[in-house]
Amino acid sequence: MTTIAIAGAGIIGLSTALTLADRGHDVTVYDAHPRSGASHHAGGMLAPVAEVVYQQDPLFPLMRAAAAWYPDLIALIGRYSALPTGYRTEGTLVVGADRADKAHLDELQDYQLAHGMEATRITTRAARALEPALSPAIAGAVRIDGDHQVQPRLITRALDDACAAAGVTFLAEDLHDVREAHADQVVIAAGLGAEQIGGWDNHLKLRPVYGDVVQLRVPEHQFPLVDRVIRGFVEDRAVYLIPRADRTLTIGATSREDGRAVPLAQGVHQLLRDAAEIVPGIEDCDFVEASCGARPGTPDDLPYLGRVSERVVVSTGYFRHGILLAALAARCGAEVVEKRRPSVDLKDTNPLRHRR
């Protein structure tokens, strides 16, 4: 049995902790404010196809592997906790608001198909048959059945509960130096805070990318407003709507690097306006919350996952894909800690690649 210290109690740290504890290790998690970082504000889409970004080919196999392993992570949580995770498998519809947005949608689908992904173009009539709340003015639609979702605030709470049941120790303090941890191995999974952890040759380059997110509640007479995740392009801007079983609806997300860690009126207005172009019925929903999260980005927008010394492993920088890639971080992170060959090639996620 190995003693392991994990810095960070977001979805990456918690899923890694649970995986290692389930394998019989003695795990301690350090975090003064657990479940309060990027995970708390995330949308929760498990979308290795819909969230493809042009010219980020090294990320694609990581996203596909994570999606394939997600049912295993959900099952692992369920072995230790009865709390819900919000895991849903209805799939995703991607729509274009006008003809120019349809052209964008067509180009994206061509790119997805060229990389071996499954995305099916359907008529707007077929899309509205699947989701009657869609605007009759939409110009194009693509169906992606393999993209799923979780509810981030639920899954992190369930992970926390599962970790406690699996014997993980929680310390309500941040780890500032790896030498402070009395453990055989240390995993740095503290999101943006990883850059500040000392005691090793830390050359991580992380930047906060802020995103405004809106939570609505669907009135009982309208529920369910939509059944699937709806992603849309409106005047070339991306917007998504994520339905939840608790009648809430998540709308997101803007992307900005202005250092302002609060939701902006302009961003909230833009999200609501664009979402209403796709699903007009949101205008009758109850407003619940606007929040802002900071995603940990790296210079090349690829995560940092790998061993940096005999004792230290880094797992951070997951940017826009932290919820999806948690399944990969948990499995491959545990394998790296145990000094075994990872289940996927991690050559592009070397945490030392931006070392000066």
pLDDT surpasses 90 at 334:
yes
What confidence score (pLDDT) does residue 53 get?
Answer: 84
- 92-145+208-297, what's its fold? D-Amino Acid Oxidase; Chain A, domain 2 (3.30.9)
Quick one: average pLDDT of 85-89? 97
Contacts of 342 (CB under 8 A, 6+ apart): 332, 335, 336
Q: How far apart are CA 265 and CA 271, in angstroms?
A: 10
What confidence score (pLDDT) does residue 59 get?
Answer: 95
User: Residues 136, 128: contact at Cβ < 8 Å?
Assistant: yes
User: Residues 60, 129: contact at Cβ < 8 Å?
Assistant: no
What confidence score (pLDDT) does residue 197 get?
Answer: 98
262-276 pLDDT per residue, tens: 999 999 999 999 999
139-189 pLDDT per residue, tens: 999 999 999 999 999 999 999 999 999 999 999 999 999 999 999 999 999
Q: What is the CATH number of domain 3-84+151-201+299-349?
A: 3.50.50.60
Longest dimension (CA), the chain: 61
- Distance of CA 87 to CAs 8, 31, 161, Å? 23, 25, 16
pLDDT surpasses 90 at 302:
yes
Please give the distance of CA 3 from its chain centroid, rounded to a whole number. 28
Q: 230: which 2 tokens?
A: 């709806």
Q: 88: which 2 tokens?
A: 């849903």
DSSP assigned state of 235: T
Q: Provide the residue ranges of all domains of the chain, joining segments of one domain with +.
A: 3-84+151-201+299-349, 92-145+208-297
